[in-house]
């Protein structure tokens, strides 16, 4: 700066008076901006107001002052009673963190519950991870909750110390409501139950009973949609009562309106399928695929027509010690499909078997013809059974495609004395 520039400079207020030459003089300059360079002139005056001139450089830069962080507790939101309410300070920021060389590891977060419904028993102590950037709590009653976020930054190299600011978010918690318009109708293959979805709910629990009212301790089915088909055996000639509840993270809503449905008595053997019958071939005989109580017998397949037409597995034959079972080349199977075969044994024998597939993974299992499990082989790849004892009986050999078997399979069996 030069003397001319000093003429336009601001005068620093002071209390200086006549001083002997060489006396040290201190001035305090106030009201300066943070982080800004300033230039100074020094002039001396005598009693006659004569002054010295200035031609030099005297400069100083004021230090950077720490600014308060910008705190954002998140938008106001809605939640369902019993669900976890997630809290996040991720939208908060420290605008001068880089300039001050602040360490984010020194930031201090604190979530507090500043307001809750009158009947709530929650306090700030119920906020999980309340001293972390991300926290959560589980509301205990419906109503509005106010949660405050306090964030203290790190001053780093800036002056003024650590700064703190706060922000709040409001959470409106509502009780989950049950679905509406519950309806039940009888189909050939079961009872079809439908309903209208509850807002924001995708999981439901369908409760049923033979007495009214239905309660939450009654048997139930879980459903991920707005349609459920009850296919298990229910007893005919009775009235069933149904009611639905919405399922959410915290549990179940109250039950919705109850619906009753009379399930007629089944008439097994009249050649007409009526739920809970699985089949009806016009008789009540066992061994033809449709049993005396109109259930599909093990390993058989029955059509859904009136009457049912049931198909037995292919029969590999009847064997004893020394007999030969011809190798079986089976058809291609998609993953999850099975192929079943009857085989009868007339005396105690020892059977060895290998199951091979050029592509894919087949599993091998043996059952009695009534469905009782005998042996199961499910290692990765091909299967081997060595000298397994079988008593005289009717058996089902089952091949299951764990993965696609596009080239089918080859089953080889040998029979020896036990």
Phi/psi class of residue 322: alpha, beta or left (left: φ > 0; alpha: ψ in -120 to 50)? left
* Of 149 and 143, the one with more pLDDT: 149
Residue 183: predicted pLDDT: 95
Q: What does pTM read for this prediction?
A: 0.49
- pLDDT computed for residue 267 by the predictor: 85
What mean pLDDT do residues 355-371 have? Answer: 97
**DSSP letter at 91?**
T
pLDDT over threshold 90, residue 42 = no
What is the band of 175 on the pLDDT scale with cuts at 50, 70, 90? confident
Rg (CA), the chain: 42
Return the number of other C-beta atoms located less than 10 Å from residue 315's C-beta: 11
Q: Specify the 3-state DSSP secondary structure of 148.
A: strand
Q: Count, in order, helices (H) and strands (E) of the chain.
A: 2, 27
Overall average pLDDT of the 354-383 stretch: 97
Look at residue 117 and tell me whether its pLDDT is greater than 70.
yes
Tell me how far apart the alpha carbons of residues 37 and 417 are, in angstroms, rounded to a whole number.
105
**H-only helix segments in 129-239:** none
* Residue 70: predicted pLDDT: 97
pLDDT score of 2: 85
Residue 125 has pLDDT above 70, yes or no: yes
How do residues 43-77 score in pLDDT, each as one tens digit?
A: 888 878 888 888 888 898 888 889 999 999 999 99
How confident is the model over 265-324, as pLDDT tens digits? 878 899 998 888 889 999 999 999 999 989 999 999 999 889 999 999 999 999 999 899
Q: What's the angle, vertex CA 132, arms to CA 128 and CA 135, rounded to 5?
A: 40
- Which pLDDT does position 296 carry in this prediction? 95
Residue 82 in this model has a pLDDT that exceeds 80: no
Q: What percent of the chain has pLDDT over 70?
A: 99
Q: Is the dihedral of CA 49, 55, 56, 61 positive or negative?
A: positive
Q: Structure tokens of 414?
A: 């040998």
Q: Grade residue 351 by pLDDT with cuts at 50, 70 and 90.
A: very high
Question: If you average pLDDT over residues 217-229, what whole number do you get?
Answer: 91
Give 250's pLDDT tier (boundaries 50, 70, 90). Answer: low
What is the share, in percent, of the chain residues with pLDDT greater than 90? Answer: 67
Distance of CA 37 to the CA centre of its chain: 57
DSSP letter for 404, please: -
Q: Which two tokens stand for residue 186?
A: 């009888």
Tell me which of 201 and 132 has the higher pLDDT: 132
Long-range pairs of 404-407 with CB within 8 A, sequence gap ≥ 24: 404/332, 404/333, 404/334, 404/335, 404/359, 404/360, 405/330, 405/332, 405/333, 405/334, 405/357, 405/359, 405/360, 405/362, 406/332, 406/359, 406/360, 407/332, 407/357, 407/358, 407/359, 407/360
Across-strand partners of 390? Answer: 349
**Domains present along the chain, CATH in parentheses:** 1-62 (no CATH), 77-174 (2.60.40.10), 180-263 (2.60.40.10), 267-308 (no CATH), 314-416 (2.60.120.1050)
Distance CA 252, CA 373 (A): 38
More reliable by pLDDT, 156 or 47: 156
pLDDT mean across residues, the chain: 92
Residues contacting residue 375 through CB under 8 Å, at least 6 positions apart: 365, 366, 385, 388
**In the predicted model, is pLDDT for residue 411 greater than 80?**
yes
């Amino acid at each position: 700066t030069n003397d001319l520039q000093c003429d336009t400079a601001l005068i620093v207020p002071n209390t200086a008076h006549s001083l002997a030459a060489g006396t040290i003089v201190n001035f305090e300059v106030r009201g300066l901006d943070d982080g800004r360079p300033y230039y100074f002139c020094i002039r001396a005056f005598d009693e006659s107001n004569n002054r010295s001139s200035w031609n030099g450089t005297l400069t100083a830069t004021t230090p950077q002052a720490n600014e308060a962080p910008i705190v954002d507790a998140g938008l106001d939101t809605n939640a369902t009673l019993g669900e976890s309410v997630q809290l996040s300070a991720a939208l908060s920021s420290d605008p001068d963190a880089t300039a001050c060389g602040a360490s984010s590891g020194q930031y201090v977060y604190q979530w507090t519950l500043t307001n809750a419904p009158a009947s709530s028993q929650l306090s700030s102590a119920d906020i999980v991870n309340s001293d972390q950037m991300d926290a959560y709590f589980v509301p205990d009653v419906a109503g509005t909750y106010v949660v405050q976020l306090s964030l203290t930054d790190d001053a780093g190299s800036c002056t003024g110390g650590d700064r703190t600011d706060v922000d709040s978010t409001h959470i409106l918690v509502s009780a989950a409501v049950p679905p509406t318009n519950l309806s039940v109708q009888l189909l050939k293959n079961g009872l079809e139950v439908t309903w209208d979805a509850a807002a924001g709910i995708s999981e439901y629990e369908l409760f049923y009973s033979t007495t009214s009212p239905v309660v939450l301790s009654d048997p139930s089915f879980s459903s991920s949609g707005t349609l459920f088909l009850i296919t298990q055996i229910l007893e005919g000639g009775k009235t069933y009562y149904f009611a639905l509840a919405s399922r959410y993270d915290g549990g179940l809503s109250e039950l919705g309106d109850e619906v009753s449905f009379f399930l007629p008595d089944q008439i097994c053997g009249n050649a007409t399928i009526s739920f809970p019958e699985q089949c009806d071939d016009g008789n009540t005989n066992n061994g033809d695929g449709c049993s005396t109580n109109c259930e599909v017998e093990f390993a058989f397949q029955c059509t859904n027509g009136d009457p049912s037409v049931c198909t037995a597995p292919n029969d590999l034959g009847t064997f004893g010690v020394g007999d030969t079972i011809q190798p079986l080349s089976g058809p291609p199977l998609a993953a999850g499909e099975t192929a079943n075969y009857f085989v009868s044994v007339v005396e105690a024998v020892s059977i060895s078997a290998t199951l091979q597939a050029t592509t894919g993974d087949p599993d091998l299992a043996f059952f009695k013809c009534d469905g009782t499990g005998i042996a199961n082989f499910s290692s990765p790849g091909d299967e081997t059974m060595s000298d397994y004892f079988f008593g005289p009986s009717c058996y089902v050999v089952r091949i299951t495609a764990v993965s696609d078997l596009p080239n089918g399979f080859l089953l080889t069996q040998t029979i020896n004395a036990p």
